[in-house]
Amino acid sequence: MEYETMGGEEIPKIGLGTWRMEGGTCRDAVSTALDLGYRHIDTAQAYGNEREVGQAIEHSDVDRDDVFLTTKVWPMHRKRTDIVNSVNESLTKLGTEYVDLLLIHWPNPLASTGEVMRTLSDLQNDGLTRHIGVSNFGVEQLEEARNEATVDVFTDQLQFHPFNPQEELLEYCQENDVLLTAYSPLAHGGAMHDHVLTELGKKYDKTPAQVALRWVTQQEKVVTIPKSTSEEHLKQNLDVFDFELTETEMALIARPSRLRTGLSMVRGRLGR
C-alpha cells in the first residue's frame, strides 16, 4: 500500500467505496476488504448502509483506530441542528464515537455555506470527527468552503478518472494542500475496455482497471475509493503498487471526454 500524507497523517491511497451496497452484501464486502488489508472505508448517510459498515468494522480483527472511516452528511441537512442530529445518528449506526472524515455530500444552493462549514468545524472541535471536507464541490465552491470553515478542509471527494481528470480542481488541491478523493476511478466500468489502458496492461501484465487505478494513485495529493463486492476484484485493486507508469504514459491515459464521462454517470445511475 502507498499513502498520501495530509494533515500530519497517512491516508491509504486506495480505500473501499460502498455506494449502492446494501445489507449483507455491504457487510460482507467491507469485512472481506478489511481482511485483505484495506484500512480506508467510505460510506454516507445517503447510502443507507452505515449500520452494515459499522457492523463489519466492529466484528473484524482490525482495531477501529486503524481504520480511516468516512461518512457524508446528506445536503438537505442544511441547518446546524439538523446537521448535528444527523451526524449523531450516523455515529450511532456506525457504532463509533467518531469518524475520521466528515463531508457535506453535495453543495446545496439553498444552504448557507458558512453555516454548514462552521457546523462541520464545530463537530471536529467537539471530537465527533477528526477531519472535515466536501464532496462534489467545484473550485469556486471549494474556495468558499475553505474560507468559511474554521478548521482545515481536508478533502474534496469527486468523480475522477482518465476521462474526467479534473485538471483545474486537481491543480487547486495540489497548490492549497487539499486532498482529492477520487470516486468512480474506473468510470463505472468504462475503463475496462479502453484501448490505451488495455495496451498498457499488456506491457505491465495488469488489467485495464489496474492501470487506471495506478494512473489515479500516481497523482500527487490524490487517493481513491473504488467500489467492489468481489473478493477477486478487491485483491486486484490493491495490487497496483508494483509498477510505475512513465510521464508519457500518464499523459496518454488522461483523455478528457464529456461523452465518456456522461456515459459513466449513466452507467452509475443504472447500477452497472
Catalytic residues: 47
Are 126 and 2 spatial neighbours (Cβ–Cβ below 8 Å)? no
Distance (Å, whole) CA 120 – CA 128? 9
Q: Could you count the other beta carbons within 10 Å of the beta carbon of residue 216?
A: 24
Question: Can you give 101-112 as a three-state secondary structure string?
Answer: EEEECCCCCCCC
Q: Is the dihedral of CA 182, 187, 193, 195 positive or negative?
A: negative
Are 228 and 19 spatial neighbours (Cβ–Cβ below 8 Å)? no
Distance (Å, whole) CA 193 – CA 181? 24
